[in-house]
Chain A
Amino acid sequence: GAGVSQSPSNKVTEKGKDVELRCDPISGHTALYWYRQRLGQGLEFLIYFQGNSAPDKSGLPSDRFSAERTGESVSTLTIQRTQQEDSAVYLCASSRPGYEQYFGPGTRLTVT
């Protein structure tokens, strides 16, 4: 079946603008995760959705970051008033409960 998809693949924005990044998980995967990968770094956990439970937002770096998920499908990560340090690859992953995560190709965000 189809894997995790993300859009856009690349996004260039000016400092101070808002951006929205989209993730379509694998069908049937109730868990969805957002990670951030800065240049030369590992992945940093941002937020985790599991079914209808309250999301785990413990990794969000500031209140400029937020995420929504519609049921067990699409998720949108929103970054308000972008800063240059927000430049990174944003990766989405999904999983079935108790199983490993499958990652999308990522969105490369560049803030100029």
Chain B
Amino acid sequence: AQSVTQPDIHITVSEGASLELRCNYSYGATPYLFWYVQSPGQGLQLLLKYFSGDTLVQGIKGFEAEFKRSQSSFNLRKPSVHWSDAAEYFCAVGPRAGTALIFGKGTTLSVSS
């Protein structure tokens, strides 16, 4: 069955420290991959996407993610976290853009000072 797993429910990172949020997927075909961020009381904002090509993709707010086919992973990274990055992060997968997505359960990021 198609699925997305975000192994970490909650992560706390010190401000200025690096961040990596994990995402593993189970999908029969080459997937389209997305990371979204949801701040409290807000809708989801797209951080970045992978459709094809370079496996390291850059997104907004200084985030990047790397698609590793051999590991079925699409981990999100940021070299230096800011307090404003505290939010919930969702990884999602789909057969192509413009179709219904399968979402992970999310990882809540807290940033400590």
Contacts and interface: CB of A to CB of B under 8 A. Distances in A.
Contacts of B104: 42
Given A42-B106, A103-B36, A98 B100 contact: no
A100 B36 CA distance: 11
A15 to B, nearest CB: 25
A101 B96 CA distance: 11
Interface residues of B, number: 23
A56 interface: yes
A102 B46 contact: yes
B53 interface: no
Contacts of A33: 100
Interface of A: 4, 31, 33, 35, 40-45, 48, 50, 56, 59, 91, 93, 95-106
